[in-house]
Amino acid sequence: DKVIAQSENIKEQYVNALTFFAGEDTRCVWDEKIVTNGYPDKSVGPEPERTRLLFVIGANELSEQRFNLLEAIKERIDEAKEYTDGIVMSIALYPADREQWLKIDRDLSEKIFERLEQADSEGVQITTFPLENFGIEAKRFDAYYGSPSPVMTTFIEQGKPVMLCNYGIEE
| Torsion over CA: 97, 155, 135, 117 (sign) | positive
Q: What residues contact 156, with CB distance under 8 A and at least 6 apart?
A: 162
- Asked whether the predicted pLDDT for residue 171 surpasses 60, the reply is no
Whether the pTM exceeds 0.75: the reply is no
Per residue in 6-28, pLDDT (tens digit) is 777 778 888 888 888 889 899 88
* Residue 57 near residue 92, CB atoms below 8 Å: yes
> If DSSP codes are grouped into helix, strand and coil, which group holds residue 64?
helix
| pLDDT higher at 90 or 127 | 90
When pLDDT is averaged across residues 105-120 and rounded to a whole number, the result is 91
